[in-house]
Structure 1
Amino acid sequence: MAYPNPYPAQPYPSASAPMPAVPSAVIGPQFCAPYPVDLAVVKKVMTISDNFVVTDVNGNIVFKVKGSLATLRDRRVLLDAAGNPLVTLRRKIMTAHDRWQAFRGESTDAKDLIFTLKRSSLIQFKTKLHVFLANNTKEDVCDFKVKGSWLERSCVVYAGESNNIVAQVKRSPLFK
């Protein structure tokens, strides 16, 4: 079940500008909500693929992720609940900062690039990623910053280099 956005899509501010009170859409405004939304990642155990679903608190599927562990290229496709491809994530091979690219739908064409994600440094004890929207070709200042911990299964997404939180992932107290 997608949560409708009662507000129109807003242009994303520069990294130095404060975040607006209304959420900004990167993938689509239908995936923005002006309030926190609890979601759960549900992964099937003992499968060859890297597929999983994301559900709301009532168990309704919100997103599906298709991936494969048996391919040379690391690639994942994010689908909506109906199975329509939203984003294809592809890892770039032979990069120093473990770079990923996100494209619209199932495309991997440069004209469909949405954003690029890379590790902020080669050696990390806690995850720190920089996200650059497609029109940010200089990549001198990131559009989003992601800080987190794989062990704690949590992360926080910030607007640019600011401390303005735009998204947060926490491990459910049910699974601690």
Structure 2
Amino acid sequence: MKNLAKLAGVAAVLFAQSAYAQQAAPASPNAQPAPVAATPANDPAYTYKTLRLNRAAFDALLGKPEQLLVLDVRRPDELTKVGGFPAYLSIQTADIQRSLSFIPHDRLIVTVSNRAHRAGAVGDLLAGYGYHVVGAIGVLDYQDEGGVLTKIAPPPPKAAQAPGSQTAAQ
């Protein structure tokens, strides 16, 4: 039964990618072509087993948030500079193996990086540990395909406290 549910999830992703490819075709000869999703065919550097998702496939997965974990593996400066998705778990690539206990086994996982390469590598790693990784996506690819990212503002810097001064809480 568990394999059947996983197979259904993968089928939904592939269906969404197929639907996106059909929608991406220009309506007339004068129409601008839609951005092409990065695939192993047009991005030979993506050599991971983890399926590389396009915007339509990712949006379809977002339709069932209770089943999904979006795992962003980028650095904090990348999150604030580029933006990201509104809800995610942030664990940097270098910290994944030390943080496995924080990643739930009962969710479908989509890994996220800027152009999906780090996300693909982390997806392969997690799949090797038995996690249900359904794909990897790049936020810049998502944005190139018309998706809207959420800008994340860094917290304001804390005011420096003069040496020897005491706070009201003490």
> TM-score under structure 2 normalisation?
0.26
Name the structure with the higher helix share. Answer: 2
Question: Which of the two has higher C-alpha Rg?
Answer: 2
